[in-house]
Amino acid sequence: MSDPPRSDGTDAAAEATQPVPAVDGPGRIRWLLHWTLPGCWGAVLFAALSFTPSLLPRGGFVQGLVCGITAAIGYGLGVLAAWLWRAFADREARVPTRSSWRVFLLVAAVLLVVSFALGQYWQHEIRALMGVTEYNVALVVASPVVAVFFFALFLLTGRGIRWVYRRVAHLLARVFGRRAAAATGWVLVSVAVGFLVSGVLLDGLVTAMDEAFSVRNGITEEGVTQPSTGLRSGGPGSLVPWDSLGREGRTFAGSGPTASDIATIVHHPAEEPIRIYAGLDSAADAEQRAALAVDDLQRAGGFQRANLLVLTTTGSGWVDPALVAPFEYLGGGDAATVAIQYSYLPSWLSFLVDQTKAREAGRALFDAVYERWSTLPANQRPKLFVGGESLGTFGGETAFSGEYDLRNRTAGTVFAGPPNFNTLFRDFSDHRDPGSPEIQPVYKNGRTVRFATDAGSSLPPAAQPWEGTRVLYLMHPSDPIVWWTPHLLLTEPDWIGEAAGKDVLPQMFWMPFVTFWQVSADLPFSTGVPPGHGHKYTTEYVDGWYAVMRPSGFTPADLTALRSAISALG
């Protein structure tokens, strides 16, 4: 057996204290490829922990990505821990012996094989909980290769940054003292890396994505045609041109249940619902788009309907048909919905970079509607509802200061899959009644705001009355959008220590750094699971709107038929 790579015991933390001469040529290559034993122990331990379950089932590529990133973090922490130990012990680094490396290789092989096997078992259990049948064996087999690639990529990137620091510090040492050169070098390199990542790479990515999706915004989905009724934006007499609605706006205005569809469920003649929308190309900014949408809403007779829904869209302007259709069915078609677009970007990217636009759009639209609504005689106003999904809940919340504001200015609210950073959602959850779990909190004894993991079964506290305005948050236990937060890096949230939700494995537990990357990896795939799990909300809206609107005349059989109709929407 060839000898494992040897190390002189140096590491990033130790070398940060003083600049050393730059290494060039073959020596630099050897330096880039050397390993420290403490770092390797950290990498293997964290790689093994990465196979523990998170919220959603992971495919082979995602598991490899999580494993590689987590192993790189573990390597760095192992190196740091060794440096701290030597600092307290006041001794120099020692060169590991061959036997130390052999013990490591044996333990690492056993630990990784066992962890991989347990990981596959846990993934099978999660798929069974959610009814996921897809399983790509080839990607699972390839996952170790993916892990090694990303581990090497991040490790070499870190060493490359350190090499740049050493070069800078070496040059500065000609002018300053060694300590000053080392400190100044770290500051300069850190600022440069931060600027490169956030100011160049991220901004460049966002700009490129924005341009790409602005082109996609001009597409009209197959089967979507311009409305022939004035009850829809883009139709005859509309103040909003059809071409300005954007891809999602045209889909929203050109689809939805008809009066006959609704009559089939409610068993009596129904009206045609009103749908109003203003796209990014309809007006210059959020305030002007909101004003245009309200004018078009008034033109179409939206303020004369019994029920009016103000909806904040997700990033690209998407309106979930499963969110709006139940509102229209349960209102017997005597309903109007208004929404505006604020971004070209898809929801997951808007989630990261377009929060300000969502906030502006949500506030501008509700304020514009409320201003026009409040001028009507009290006995002629429609019931005013608010709705949103994902980033749309963030925008929808920003129009309100708290529970009393929601109660006083709306007839009801349905928010689904709220991001963890939502101001009101966090306030309600953080100040929940003692003894209630974070996974389904109870706020102020449920007098206005309630939370549901399964709106069809319970809305605790069941024994307490729910009078007046009802505000309902729908949130799946397995929805990473709801539970992801940067605090997962170093802080264990309450929900992980509580009894697991219906579609979350009890074996999930919190680990510093590891859990953060696991849940982060779940985010892009949050809707790639069957309805009722992750960030996929469909028939839950039927029960949610039924609880909030409290319509009369609906039997359990009617609700079952409505769930079937909504389930068919996708």
Tell which wins on pLDDT, 208 or 506. Answer: 506
> Secondary structure of the chain: what % helix, strand, coil (to 5)?
55, 5, 40
pLDDT at residue 535, rounded to an integer? 95
Asked if residues 433 and 441 have their Cβ atoms less than 8 Å apart, the reply is yes
**Per-residue model confidence as pLDDT tens digits over 382-427:** 999 999 999 999 999 999 999 999 999 999 999 999 999 999 999 9
CB 182 within 8 A of CB 18: yes
This prediction's pTM: 0.88
pLDDT of residue 35: 83
pLDDT in tens, 237-254: 999 999 999 999 999 999
State the amino acid at position 405 in one-letter form. Answer: D
Tokens linked to 548: 């909030």
Kindly provide the b/e burial profile for residues 182-218, where b requires at least 16 CB atoms within 10 angstroms of the residue's own CB.
bbbbeeebeeeeeeeeeeeeeeeeeeeeeeebeeebe
Helix (H, G, I), strand (E, B) or coil at 36: coil
Exposed/middle/buried for 378, CB within 10 Å: 0-12, 13-18, 19+?
exposed
Read off the pLDDT of residues 125-140 as tens digits, 9 standing for 90 and up.
999 999 998 888 999 9
Task: Yes or no: say if 226 and 218 are a contact pair by the CB < 8 Å rule.
Answer: no
Residue pLDDT, tens place only, 176-187: 888 888 888 888
Residue 406 CA to residue 415 CA, distance in Å, equals: 12
Orientation of helix 37-49 relative to helix 98-130, angle to 10°: 20
- Measured distance CA(239)–CA(230) in Å, rounded: 10
Q: What is the pLDDT of residues 314-336, one digit of tens each?
A: 988 999 999 999 999 999 999 99
Average pLDDT of every residue of the chain: 89
> What's the pLDDT at 315?
81
More confident site: 352 or 128: 128
The reported pLDDT for the residue numbered 209 is 67
94-98, 193-197, 476-480 — which is least confidently predicted?
Answer: 193-197
**Contact status, residue 112 vs residue 105, Cβ threshold 8 Å:** no
The pLDDT score that the predictor gives to residue 351 is: 67
Mean pLDDT over 210-225 rounds to: 81
Q: DSSP E strands: which ranges in 176-248?
A: none
- Cα-Cα-Cα-Cα dihedral sign, residues 145, 149, 150, 152: positive
Total H helices, total E strands in the chain: 22, 7
Between CA 327 and CA 330 the distance in angstroms is 5
- Per-position b or e across 499-532, b if 16+ CB within 10 A of its CB: ebbebbbeebebbebbbbbbbbbbbebbbebebb
Percentage of residues of the chain with pLDDT beyond 90? 72
Beta bridge partners of 384: 308
Q: Beta-carbon neighbour count of residue 459 at 10 Å?
A: 22
- Rounded CA-CA distance 540/520 in Å is 25
Position 23 pLDDT exceeds 60 = no
H or E stretch at 308: strand 307-312
